Amino acid sequence: MKKIFVLFYLLFLNSQLYSQAVKPTLMILPDKLWMSENNFVKSIDNEGETNLIYDYELAMIKNPDLSAALDKITGEFLKAGFKSENLLQTLDEIKTNAAEDALRRTSKGADGGIRINNIDEIRRKAKTDIEIYIYWKIDNLGPRKRITDIRMKAIDTYTNQDIATSPGKGGDWVSISEVSNAELIRESIVSEMDAFKSSLQLHFDDLFANGRELKLRILTWETAPFDLETDSFGDDELNVLIKNWVRKNAYLGRFSPPTYTETRMEFKSIRIPLSDENGRLDGEDWAKGLVKYLKSIKVTPIKTDPKGLGSVDLILGGK
């Protein structure tokens, strides 16, 4: 009996230590409002629709306060054991990969333009769990300055849901020559850090216990020789086969019942593991298992169209 007790105690202790060691990975970015106020945003016309492009690379290069402030804030999270991806380094890696791809495309006569300010592209490269957006405003008056507003907001990169905020507030006047802007920002952030970090950890603990959320849509091409009610791929209709596969492969079997028609099937929420033996999972990684299953029952062709880290479309039956 004593040996059994010791074994259970060691297992419990190991699980507790592992849980405490697991921290979400973060990326610190300037808030979109800060980007707009500092003229690091531009609008482009996309077939009659105006899209805003936030030029993070230019902001990091042109505004030394931004780079220094993000480094200071990242340091505070590192002290608490949170892992963090560097924004500028991620942008450089994307740019390098894009340049290599552009050379290959150019050699085939295609346009070799490089665009690296798409937040989804940054997310796919960094694969962080949480993004923290920082906004601040500093007023100067003669030899003094102070923060008049500073805010933090954290979002889940897979669902785009807000998971933590710290309210804006002002600060005291300090000497311009004695305190750098980056240090002034860091000092203002530190006073809000404990509650903010606790909210982040609570959210991540939920993901660790229950899995992260994925949205999945199954679509069929108009020209497909089958639809989701076809029963020639197994012992039931295709939509039932897909639902059964999702039930078996969702984390702890947790998913919301899908809505579907003959040509469309949508799962609003499927819980998937944070990682597998190959590392962290995103929606596209997890959906590869479903694609493999569908191909095994002769559902082809299949186009995979990721809509972000936590959303993916599978389009069946195209040419």
User: Band of the pLDDT at 19, cuts 50, 70, 90?
Assistant: very low
Quick: pLDDT tens for 271-310: 999 988 888 889 999 999 999 999 999 999 999 999 889 9
Q: What is the pLDDT of residue 113?
A: 42
Q: What is the pLDDT of residue 14?
A: 38
How does pLDDT run across 196-215, given as a tens digit for each residue? 988 998 998 999 999 999 99
Cβ within 8 Å of residue 9, ≥6 positions away: none
Query: Could you tell me where the beta strands, DSSP code E, fall in 176-286?
Result: 212-220, 259-260, 264-272, 275-276, 279-280
DSSP-derived secondary structure letter, 318: -
Q: What tens digit of pLDDT does each residue of 100-155 get?
A: 766 655 444 434 344 445 687 888 888 899 999 999 999 999 999 999 999 999 99
Tell whether omega for the bond before 301 is within 30 degrees of 0, i.e. cis. Answer: yes
β strands within the chain, DSSP E: 25-30, 41-46, 49-54, 83-85, 130-141, 144-156, 162-166, 174-175, 212-220, 259-260, 264-272, 275-276, 279-280, 302-308, 311-316
